[in-house]
Amino acid sequence: MATEGSINGKVRVGVVGVGIGRLHLEGYRKHPDAEIVAIADVNEDRARATAKEFGISQVYTDYEKMLQEAHLDALSVCTPNSLHAPVAIAAFQAGCSVICEKPIATSAAEGEKMVRAARDAGKIFMMGFNNRFRGDTQVLKKFIEEGALGNVYYAKTGWLRRRGIPGMGGWFTTRAMSGGGPLIDLGVHVLDLALYLMGNPKPVSAYGSTYAEFGPKMPGGENYDVEDLASGLIKFENGATVLVEASWASNIAQETSYTTLMGSLGGADLSPLRLYTEMNGEQVDIQPQHPNINGHEAEIKHFVDCVRDGKQPLATGEHGLDVIKILDAIYESAQTGKMAAIS
């Protein structure tokens, strides 16, 4: 896709925020049709060191200036969560397609504005749901699409850490910047996986609980105002139910991440991938082979392909919006003690 400023017909990409943004840069570096043009980070030292490592000549501390000057086709939004909406909206308005790290935003209201801005600009809006691109996820998705599980009516999904609060005292543990704790950080990944595998049914209500038994008591936890464990039960228009749980700290044996699907004809576990069904009247467990795919790299490859070819991505802004609507509802329910409706 050639644009003003493009000299070789490649997709001109930029990255805002070079924490996880480095993985985006690795992905772009490997794509023959991507050209890394510019990066922006308010931490100038970090930005300059990253630019040197990746051989990037245009380095900014102000992402708006970068959007004005760098003539980008596509942008990775890899900032703290509260900046996803302003950065992505500015990018759409500057004529860029966007891949946004998870979660889409800190609230559904912000997410809606982002989806609208992408539509108004006619640009591609992809969510950075890297786990969808893993080999085991893709193989299971194919089994499900071919009917191996029948009607998937129930799923349990979670990511629980025994101890692992990220960036204590920084943006992760400050609600105004993160939107929440492990539910919006880790739960978002596994919830999206369950929704994706179930064909993205429409959520209608959620019930949830949150706890902060560790964070506020730990060194540096004086301003800790997010949960360290959350649990939610979500109901869908098609009658399906999903149970989600996430923790940064909990008294369990060890860190665990799981997604279990139950369908009318079969069930499945991800990580490790297993299918459970019946054959010849016997219960059988199936262990499919699957390629080992780096989800982050595959996600970036897919994004560049979509921008180059003008195709809809596998993980859209609308999918990100569905997830944040559910998270909003779980947080609301945890506050009120009542079921929260999702519209």
Phi, psi of 216 (to 5 degrees): -65, -20
CA 195 to CA 243: how far, in whole Å? 11
Site membership for ligand NAD, residue 313 (CB under 6 A): no
The least CB distance from residue 132 to ligand NAD, in Å, is 11
Q: Which is nearer to ligand NAD, 172 or 214 (CB)?
A: 172
Contacting ligand NAD (CB under 6 A), which of 14, 76, 81, 224? 81
The least CB distance from residue 265 to ligand NAD, in Å, is 32
Site membership for ligand NAD, residue 123 (CB under 6 A): no
Sign of torsion over alpha carbons 103, 107, 113, 115: positive
CA 138 to CA 157: how far, in whole Å? 17
**Which residue's CB comes closest to ligand NAD?**
19
Q: Which is nearer to ligand NAD, 35 or 299 (CB)?
A: 299
CA 227 to CA 215: how far, in whole Å? 8
Size of residue set near ligand NAD by CB under 6 A: 21
The least CB distance from residue 178 to ligand NAD, in Å, is 8
Q: Which is nearer to ligand NAD, 12 or 102 (CB)?
A: 102
Q: Which is nearer to ligand NAD, 19 or 150 (CB)?
A: 19
Site membership for ligand NAD, residue 83 (CB under 6 A): yes
The least CB distance from residue 90 to ligand NAD, in Å, is 11
Among residue numbers 16 through 75, which ones bind ligand NAD (CB under 6 A)?
Answer: 16-20, 40-43, 46, 63
Is 291 in contact with 159 (CB distance < 8 Å)?
Answer: no
Site string for ligand NAD, 101-120 (x = CB under 6 A): xx------------------
Q: Which is nearer to ligand NAD, 277 or 316 (CB)?
A: 316
Contacting ligand NAD (CB under 6 A), which of 76, 97, 106, 130? 130
Structure tokens at 70: 């760098």
Q: Of 15-23, 133-141, 229-237, 285-293, which segment contacts ligand NAD by CB under 6 A? A: 15-23
Contacting ligand NAD (CB under 6 A), which of 76, 79, 107, 316? 79
Site string for ligand NAD, 159-198 (x = CB under 6 A): --------------------------x-------------
The residues that touch ligand NAD, with contacts defined as CB under 6 A, are 16-20, 40-43, 46, 63, 78-81, 83, 101-102, 128, 130, 185
